[in-house]
Structure formats: C-alpha cells, structure tokens
Amino acid sequence: EVPADAPGPHPQIFLFGNDYHWRVAEEPLDSPAGQVDQVSLDRWAGYSPGLAFAVELLEQDPSLQIGLIPCAKWSSSIREWRRNHSDYSLYGSCIKRARAASPMGELAGVLFVQGEAEVADPERFPQKNPEPDKWAEKFTQLVAGLREDLGDPSLPIVFAQIGPFDHPQKVPEWEIVQAQQASIQLPGVAMIETADLALLDEVHFTAESYEIIGARFAQAYGRLAEAADQE
C-alpha cells in the first residue's frame, strides 16, 4: 500500500513501466497495468524503495534526469535469476527491458533486493529449490551475467541484505543467507544493511523503512559512482 505522504511525481524522475512505456514515475512502480512480460507480473504490487532512491539521488545532484526500470518479481528465488536469455525468464525479461529503455539514456546501475525466498520450506515450495548456502555463488554469477549482457564490465550494483527476523532459531537459514550476503566482495558492488529497520510483518518492511532503504541505496550508489570517477 502506498502511504498518503509518499514522495509524489517529480519532473526529473521517470519510469519505464511494465507496459514498456515511459512516464513520470509514481508508486507503485511495479504496477501490473498493461504488463508485457508475464514472468514478472505482480498483481498486488506495493510500495518500493525506488522513488525514494531517485529523490535522494537528486538531493546529491539536482541536475540529474533519472529513469527507473522495474524488473522485480515478488517472492522470487536467486535461482530464478540465473542467466537465461529467454523472454520468459526473469533474467531475460530484465535484460530485454533494459535494452528497450536504453535509447532514452545510459544504464547507470542496478538495485537488487532478494533473499527471503531462500529460507522457504523446500517441502512446501519445491519450485523455489532454496539453496541458502549458495546465495553468494549465484549472486556473483548474476553480477557477471548482467555486466556482460548489458555491455558494462564495471556496472555499479547495490543490493540489500535481508532484514531482521524475530525467531532466527526457527529458521536458521535466515542467518545463513545474511552471512552469504555479507561475504560478497566484488568490485563496483555494494551491500546496504536493513537489520535495524522496522517490519510490517515477518518479511516486508514498513513504508518508512522502504524509504530509508531507498535513501541508503542512493548513498551507496553515490559512493560507487564517485569511486569509479576517480579511477
């Protein structure tokens, strides 16, 4: 649900929507209206860190024109993001969208939020094929694939570590995924922490927390971009 005081449309922030049309951005960014790629359809798309990320970037540099390209899929596993160029895969759909949107500007980075699905009960959700102890390996492969397919070997990528969990003893895989994420040491890749933020339920954050995540994404991205400029 989008809060009443959420950041509103801004004339310098645009969205390449799920209908493959550009417009001034507003939440929910992942709206299913006119969805082209059914593989990433989220019928109940809610609030995201996306607009808050863009607003914070404009605080850093008011001259920017920012385009957001949502490719998210609720409850997807890291395995579902493996390199696959089919339009019917999450990865292939993401690459296709980025290329379709690229005539309007330069692809400047990727934001990635994923990990909770790795703790799913394999008996209840066999299609997820959760492998919490292989998250880092699969994410490293994802980074390499994205950079190769998008033609930028140093493409900045910022990802969020999964947040807090009230009963880690019931789901030991949760801490395994957190540790896997914390172990990532890749050039041009940064992780933001979320364990100090408030949750709406056992997995999803409050709207205020998502805004903080968006701001942290922007700050981490800014540091990566600054470091790249100095090289």
Strand 13-16 and strand 22-24: the pairing is: antiparallel
Give the torsion sign (CA, 47, 48, 51, 55): positive
% of the chain exceeding 90 in pLDDT: 77
Average pLDDT, the chain: 92
Among the listed residues 194, 219, 214, 190, the one whose alpha carbon sits nearest the alpha carbon of residue 204:
194
CA 193 from chain centre, in angstroms, equals 14
pLDDT at 51: 95
CA 222 from chain centre, in angstroms, equals 16
| Secondary structure (H, E, C), 19-46 | CCCEEECCCCCCCCCCCCCHHHCCCCCC
Residue 128 has pLDDT above 90, yes or no: no
Residue 27 has pLDDT above 70, yes or no: yes
In tens, the pLDDT along 40-55 reads 999 988 899 999 999 9
Q: What one-character-per-residue DSSP string does 195-208 give?
A: TTSPBSSSSPBPHH
pLDDT band (50, 70, 90) for residue 231 = confident
pLDDT band (50, 70, 90) for residue 181 = very high
Query: Around Cβ 58, how many Cβ atoms within 10 Å?
Result: 16
C-alpha–C-alpha distance, residues 193 and 178, integer Å: 10
Q: Hunting for tokens 């109940």 — which residue is that?
A: 44
In tens, the pLDDT along 89-112 reads 999 999 999 999 999 999 999 999
User: Model pTM?
Assistant: 0.93
pLDDT band (50, 70, 90) for residue 4 = confident
Angle at 157 between CA 36 and CA 201, to 5 degrees: 70
C-alpha–C-alpha distance, residues 36 and 93, integer Å: 10
Report the DSSP beta bridge partners of residue 24. Answer: 14
Among the listed residues 64, 53, 61, 91, the one whose alpha carbon sits nearest the alpha carbon of residue 215:
53
Query: Around Cβ 162, how many Cβ atoms within 10 Å?
Result: 23
pLDDT at 18: 97
